[in-house]
Structure 1
Amino acid sequence: MNELKSTTLANGLRIVADIDLRGYSAAVGYFVRAGARDETDIESGLSHFLEHMMFKGTARRSAADVNRELDELGGQSNAYTSEEQTVYYSSVLPKYQDRMVDLLTDMLSPSLDADDFATERNVILEEIAKYEDQPPFGAFERVMECAYGPRGLGRRVLGTTHSIESMQVESMRAYFNRRYRPENIVLAASGNVDFDGLVAQAEKMTQHWLDRPAPSDLASDDLGTTPEGIELTQHLSVPDASQSYRVTLGDGPSMQSELRYAMRLLASIVGDDGGSRLFWDLIDTGRAEVATLWPQEFTDTGALFTYLVCAADDMDSNVRLMNEVFGRVARDGVEQSELDQVINKTVAGCIMQSERPSNRLFGLGSRWLCCGDYLSLDELLDAYRGVTIESVAEAARTYLGQSATEVVASSAEPQSNLVG
Structure 2
Amino acid sequence: MTSGLRFDHAVLPNGLTVIGEHNPRAVTTAVGYMVRAGARDETPDVSGVSHFLEHMCFKGNERYSADDINRVFDELGADYNAYTSEERTVYYGAVTADKGGRLLELLTELLEPSLRQDDFEMEKKVILEEIAMYQDRPAQRLFESANQRYWNGHPLGNSVLGSVESITALTRDAMQVYFDRRYAPSNVLLVLAGNYDWDAMLAQAERRTASWRDYQVVRERPAARPARGYEELVDPKLTRQHVALYAPGVPVESPQRFVPVVLANAIGDSSGSRLYWELVDKGLSDNAWLAHESGEGEGAFVGYLSVAPAKAEEVLERYQQVLARAQDEGLTPEEWRRAQRKIATGLTFRAETPLGRLMSFGTAYQTLGVYESVADVVAAVLSTPLEAGLELLRRRPFDDAYVLALGPG
Is the TM value for this pair above 0.5?
yes
* Candidates 242, 251, 274, aligned match of 1:277: 274
Match for residue 102 of structure 1? 105
More divergent stretch after superposition (157-166 vs 191-200)? 191-200
Structure 1 residue 179 corresponds to structure 2 residue 182 = yes
Cα distance change, pair 400–276 in 1 and its aligned pair in 2 (3 A): farther
Identical residues among aligned pairs (%): 37
* Candidates 322, 325, 329, aligned match of 1:328: 325
SS in structure 1 of the partner of residue 59 of structure 2: coil
Structure 1 residue 244 corresponds to structure 2 residue 244 = no
Asked if 2 retains the 8 angstrom alpha-carbon contact of 1:243 and 1:310, the reply is: yes
Deviation, structure 1 residue 172: 0.6
Match for residue 265 of structure 2? 268
Structure 1 residue 62 corresponds to structure 2 residue 65 = yes
Match for residue 52 of structure 2? 49
SS in structure 2 of the partner of residue 257 of structure 1: coil
TM-score (norm 1): 0.91
SS in structure 1 of the partner of residue 212 of structure 2: helix
Cα distance change, pair 206–137 in 1 and its aligned pair in 2 (3 A): closer
Deviation, structure 1 residue 400: 4.2
SS in structure 2 of the partner of residue 84 of structure 1: coil
Match for residue 225 of structure 2? none
Number of residues of Structure 1 aligned to a counterpart in Structure 2: 396
Once residues 92 and 175 of structure 2 are traced to their aligned partners in structure 1, the CA distance between those partners, rounded to angstroms, is 22
SS in structure 1 of the partner of residue 138 of structure 2: coil
Once residues 45 and 363 of structure 2 are traced to their aligned partners in structure 1, the CA distance between those partners, rounded to angstroms, is 26
Asked if 2 retains the 8 angstrom alpha-carbon contact of 1:143 and 1:234, the reply is: no
* Candidates 398, 402, 405, aligned match of 1:401: 398
Match for residue 346 of structure 2? 349
Match for residue 199 of structure 1? 202
SS in structure 2 of the partner of residue 16 of structure 1: strand
Once residues 43 and 348 of structure 1 are traced to their aligned partners in structure 2, the CA distance between those partners, rounded to angstroms, is 40
Once residues 399 and 52 of structure 1 are traced to their aligned partners in structure 2, the CA distance between those partners, rounded to angstroms, is 42
Match for residue 118 of structure 1? 121
* Candidates 10, 13, 29, aligned match of 2:16: 13
SS in structure 2 of the partner of residue 263 of structure 1: helix
SS in structure 2 of the partner of residue 110 of structure 1: coil
Match for residue 209 of structure 1? 212
Once residues 314 and 214 of structure 2 are traced to their aligned partners in structure 1, the CA distance between those partners, rounded to angstroms, is 61
Once residues 275 and 399 of structure 1 are traced to their aligned partners in structure 2, the CA distance between those partners, rounded to angstroms, is 23
Once residues 400 and 270 of structure 1 are traced to their aligned partners in structure 2, the CA distance between those partners, rounded to angstroms, is 13
Structure 1 residue 80 corresponds to structure 2 residue 83 = yes
Tell me the C-alpha RMSD between the 2 structures.
1.8
Once residues 214 and 194 of structure 2 are traced to their aligned partners in structure 1, the CA distance between those partners, rounded to angstroms, is 32
The one-letter code matched in structure 2 to 1:272 is D
Match for residue 300 of structure 1? 297
Once residues 233 and 135 of structure 2 are traced to their aligned partners in structure 1, the CA distance between those partners, rounded to angstroms, is 11
* Candidates 38, 41, 57, aligned match of 2:41: 38
Match for residue 367 of structure 1? 364
Once residues 398 and 85 of structure 1 are traced to their aligned partners in structure 2, the CA distance between those partners, rounded to angstroms, is 31
The one-letter code matched in structure 1 to 2:288 is A
The one-letter code matched in structure 2 to 1:407 is L
Deviation, structure 1 residue 343: 2.0
SS in structure 2 of the partner of residue 375 of structure 1: coil
Asked if 1 retains the 8 angstrom alpha-carbon contact of 2:361 and 2:373, the reply is: no
Once residues 392 and 115 of structure 2 are traced to their aligned partners in structure 1, the CA distance between those partners, rounded to angstroms, is 46
* Candidates 59, 66, 74, aligned match of 1:71: 74
Asked if 2 retains the 8 angstrom alpha-carbon contact of 1:268 and 1:294, the reply is: yes
Cα distance change, pair 46–151 in 1 and its aligned pair in 2 (3 A): farther
Asked if 1 retains the 8 angstrom alpha-carbon contact of 2:14 and 2:214, the reply is: no
Q: Which runs of 5+ in 2 are unaligned?
A: 221-229
